[in-house]
Amino acid sequence: MKPIPMLDLYQQYKSIKPEINRAIFSVIKQSAYIGGQFVEKFESEVSKYLKIKYTASVNSGTDALLLSLQTLGIKKNDEVITSPFTFFATAEVIERLGAKPVFIDIDENNFNLNPDLIEKYISKKTKAIIPVHLFGMPCNMDKIISLAKKYNLNIVEDACQAIGAKYKNQYTGTFGNCGCFSFFPSKNLGAYGDGGLVCTNNQEIYEKIKFYRNHGSIIKYYNDEIGYSSRLDGIQAAILSVKLKYLDIWNSQRRQKAKLYNKLLSNINYLKLPDFQQKKNYYHIYHQYTLRVLKNKRKLIISALNNNKIQSMIYYPTMLPQLKPFKKYKFKSSDFPICSKIKDEVLSLPISPELTQEQIKYICQTLLKYN
């Protein structure tokens, strides 16, 4: 068996090579490198796909979050509630604006922030909630929306790992004031470089994001505020337009692979599998297939996989409150009992539309030997 990487992007490219090459060449031919028709076309395609009024593309998922929070007026001394178990950028942008991230423990069944714990942490300073649809699994948006209404809070969804995921048949990212997506190459809809997008149903928010992404100006050379240089470039947009057509197929292929994993691994006593496949109301798109390795066996399992040339990853080995930039808040790990436990158990296995049945079987056979 050849080595099995987490993801093989070249394999994916080969499956759509003529279309991608044509798309790149058409941008070069028009020299539409920054802004222009390819970016506008992609934005309108995403709006249509997500069934939302406005989308503004930006430089990255991180900037999508940053510009959203700034547009909603998040500033010094505000508090923003989010998950301790996510990629750093989710909380980085809160801190960057001088606000304080308030981390809330996760639900051990789906790794997402536990909405039942939120209310206790809402203060006079709380301005927003950032739910993260981690690994492509939607959060329970009903609970989060009702709290946001009750306390008049903004919702900025971090849907960077969840493009195409659905909660109650509605796309993640379209519930909040803003929804943020990343086109980092390894994401389910990945560019060939950096990229991101904010979606919203609010025209004012949309205009403001476009204003900030372009140096705080609407009319060139008339800058009204300090902004950013945060635009999606034409080549990325053209590539993403091609790939968007395949997103639903690719996501459903990921779900099939996850289902096969779950079937083949169901009798392994040291594993706790993700059990979302059949869950009503939650359309999980498996950006990652992440299980829990119990009984202190994670190190052993990782090296067993390694010895068989199977890559695996730990998303995430740390919880955000314990990282240096957040230490000043003096959160204790006992504030996050579930997250503290789970970060030492999680393991993500290879998953992608290109992963074959044979590869999955081989991975599962390797894991079975340690039962």
Ligand X SMILES: *Cc1c(COP(=O)(O)O)cnc(C)c1O
Tokens linked to 251:
């996501």
Of 158, 233, 345, 354, which lies in the binding site for ligand X, with binding defined by CB under 6 A? Answer: 158
* 286 touches ligand X (CB under 6 A): no
What is the number of the residue whose Cβ is closest to ligand X?
A: 61
* 85 touches ligand X (CB under 6 A): no
Site mask for ligand X (CB under 6 A), range 180-209, x = bound = --x-x---------x-x-------------
* Residue span binding ligand X (CB under 6 A) among the ranges 22-30, 40-48, 158-166, 354-362: 158-166
What is the DSSP track for 171-200? ETTSSSSEEEEE--TTSSS--SS--EEEEE
* 61 touches ligand X (CB under 6 A): yes
When the beta carbons of 139 and 258 are compared against ligand X, the nearer one is 139
Burial of 45 per CB tally in 10 Å (0-12, 13-18, 19+): middle
Tokens linked to 283:
């359309």
Polymer length of the chain: 371
User: Per CB under 6 A, which of residues 216..255 are in contact with ligand X?
Assistant: none
* 89 touches ligand X (CB under 6 A): yes
Q: What is the CB neighbour count within 10 angstroms for residue 197?
A: 30
Residue 17 zone, left/alpha/beta (φ > 0; ψ -120 to 50; rest):
alpha
* 82 touches ligand X (CB under 6 A): no
Question: What is each CA distance from 329 to 89, 101, 120, 131, 233, in whole angstroms?
Answer: 18, 9, 18, 21, 38
* 319 touches ligand X (CB under 6 A): no
Contact present, 205 and 6 (Cβ < 8 Å): no
* 62 touches ligand X (CB under 6 A): yes
Of 12, 70, 71, 86, which lies in the binding site for ligand X, with binding defined by CB under 6 A? Answer: 86
Min dist CB 319 to ligand X, Å, is 14
Size of the site for ligand X (CB under 6 A): 15
- 224-258 burial, b at 16+ Cβ within 10 Å, e below that, comes to eeebbebbbbbbbbbbbbbbbebbeebbebbbebb
* 57 touches ligand X (CB under 6 A): no
When the beta carbons of 196 and 350 are compared against ligand X, the nearer one is 196
Q: Which residues bind ligand X (CB under 6 A)?
A: 60-62, 86-87, 89-90, 132, 158, 160-161, 182, 184, 194, 196
